[in-house]
Chains A and B, each alone.
Chain A
Amino acid sequence: MELTVESLVFLLFSLITLGGALMVVTTRNLFHAALFLMLSLFGVAGLFALLTAPFLAGIQVVVYIGAIAILIIFAIMLTPQVTAVPPTNSQWIAGVVVAVVLFALLATIVTPLLSELGVEGWGAVFTEKNPPPVPADSIARLGEAFVDPQAYMLPFEVASVLLMAALVGAVMLVRPARGAEDEAPQTGAQE
């Protein structure tokens, strides 16, 4: 792989994504974890831009960073966080093992590692380097696909119904009970 500016930019964004993700799952302070999540999602947006999908990169920033991450931060602020206890639960070692094994399995499948090592019957499949160019009006085509009855109009409408259901559901879940005063703090924590 030659060292072009593009591969350097790819390396930068990959490091941002993976580094941010590592910090999300290990840091004790939950607010910092949310900020690192934003950083990681920003890295993913950069990767989308590198993959010539500018619309998805923009949507990633607007939806994930501008809405979902802010929602998560609001939830973090509304619930108390205790930083004295370690952030991991009792099965974290099993978690590490599972994650590492999963990554190893995936890496053997997607990378040409095994075929380079000479294992027979394992051809390197995903080594495509020069894909055909993206047509210039791909954003217009994307828009047309969403409203074309022969294409993706039905999933589009179903998605909007899904969002409406989520909106109504979320609002109904957190409403205070009808006519109830602010409830006194439950003594459940002191049992």
Chain B
Amino acid sequence: MTDLLIDIGLSRGLAVLIAKTLGVFALATVGLLWTFFCIWAERKVAARFQDRLGPNRAGPFGLVQTVADAIKIILKEDIMHQGVDRWVFNLAPILSVMSVLLIWVVIPFTPTLIGVDLSIGVLYLFAVGSLGSIAILMAGWSSNNKFALLGAFRAVAQLISYEVPMALAMLVPVVLAGSMSTQDIVRSQHVMYLIAAPLTVLIFIIASMAELGRAPFDILEAESELVAGYQTEYSGFKFGLFYVGEFLHAFTVGLLIAVLFLGGWRGPFAEDVPALGFVYLLLKSFVGYFVVMWIRMTLPRVRVDQILDLGWKFLVPLSLVNLIVVAFLWKILPGTDSITSVGDALVPSLVLLAANILMIAGVGVLLREEGRRERARIMARRAAQPVSEPGSVADTAPAGAGD
């Protein structure tokens, strides 16, 4: 495209600018249109998990349902009540969607097709991930509503807590590949990093689900507790944008799992036929997306202080230890600086796999001990206060009452 424009006679700088701008529009449009498909897939899978059918009336297999919903939400009234901070209120959903679309810039779709092959690809992913929390703060604050503000506080506390284990988990592919560029990470995955670092994948999935605000960490919108959290005052298309951002982020996490841990566009004949690489990436990201949806449909909501405990007291030390062990092993294993084929990569990956299994076993033992201690504590507490017989009042009288 750039060469075409240069041939017309434009200067080099201008040609690059126009070509890149068109690329940006194309990527953003594809990303946003893909959300239609994502939402449909989510609803179908959720329905099957819940033993029902899901949308099947609008269009074949319900494919047009999302379009119908989108049209409905655009036509809804856009309420902006008194006291709302107009600029910030309007900017928040845009920023929320922006922070997700910006992730698509560094995803390598095929061996040759990538938005920008940044040398700091993974660092860019951390940076963009933190933009989402700003959007939530803006939404909560500008709504002029106590519940929205409380929801925003809880949401941001959760999001910034889980950025740390997510960043540490994303560093493991960087260590294994020797580069922060996502294209390089995919190219070095002769053996999938899922095999070399399964504990990291687990940490990344848990941390990403907390970043998404999805069940079991969906205290962010906690329908039964906070109305809709920081989105309470949003209606019409602005709410639609938040909704779109959330689902697109879920799929983008699947995409990131595919790129960082499942091998991206790698597969038989991917280098020769780039479109095949795109198909492999899509299949792998759907596997990741399905795992995310599966966990969402299965587990109940975790309380907000338990979420923060899990993040800081369990995931952060675990991801630190994981990173140290992986980095150390990768450094002392011979032949890890020059991996060019499956054969070279096999032995180090298996060694790392063994180390990971040991770590998972160790964590399992620790959790079992902690579980036993917790159970003993609860038993002790229950033994200290005798449970009253139904009907008797004496044991349950509050201290000091009626003296």
Direct contact between A and B in the complex (CB less than 8 angstroms)? yes
Contact with A along B129-164 (1 / 0, CB 8 A): 111011001100100000001000100100010010
Q: A67-B160, A69-B134 are in contact. Are A59 and B88 (CB under 8 A)?
A: no
Contact in complex: A70, B160 (CB < 8 Å)? yes
Whether A70 lies near B137 (C-beta < 8 A) is yes
B residues apposed to A, CB below 8 Å: 13-14, 16-17, 85, 88, 118-120, 123-124, 126-131, 133-134, 137-138, 141, 149, 153, 156, 160, 163, 180
Task: Answer whether A54 and B118 are a contact pair too, CB < 8 Å, given A38-B134, A67-B160, A70-B133.
Answer: yes
Selected A-B contacts with CB under 8 Å, 14 pairs: A31-B85, A31-B141, A35-B88, A38-B134, A55-B120, A57-B120, A58-B127, A61-B127, A62-B127, A62-B130, A66-B126, A69-B134, A70-B137, A139-B119
Q: 0/1 per residue, A64-86, Cβ < 8 Å to B?
A: 01110110011001000000000
Q: Is the CB of B120 within 8 A of A67?
A: no
Partner-B contacts on A (CB < 8 A): 4-6, 31-32, 35, 38, 54-55, 57-59, 61-62, 65-67, 69-70, 73-74, 77, 139
B124 touches A58 (CB 8 A): yes
Other contacts beyond A62-B123, A66-B130: 17, CB < 8 A? A4-B13, A31-B85, A31-B88, A31-B141, A54-B118, A54-B120, A55-B123, A58-B123, A58-B126, A65-B127, A65-B131, A65-B134, A67-B160, A70-B137, A70-B156, A73-B137, A139-B119
Contacts of A62 in B (CB 8 A): 123, 126-127, 130
For A32, what are the chain B residues with a Cβ–Cβ distance below 8 Å? 88
Q: With a CB–CB cut-off of 8 A, which chain B residues contact A65? A: 127, 130-131, 134
The distance from the CB of A51 to the nearest CB of chain B, in whole angstroms, is: 14
- A67 — which chain B residues lie within 8 A by C-beta? 130, 160
Residue in B14, B88, B119, B130 whose CB lies within 8 Å of A54: B119
> Is A6 a contact partner of B134 (Cβ separation < 8 A)?
no
CA distance A38 to B123 in the complex (A): 18
Check if B14 sits within 8 Å of A5, measured CB to CB: yes
CB of B123 to closest CB in A, whole Å: 4
How long is the Cα–Cα vector from A183 to B123 in the complex, in angstroms?
A: 43
Residues of B within 8 A of A77 (CB): 141, 149, 153
Interface contact B127-A66, CB-CB below 8 Å? yes
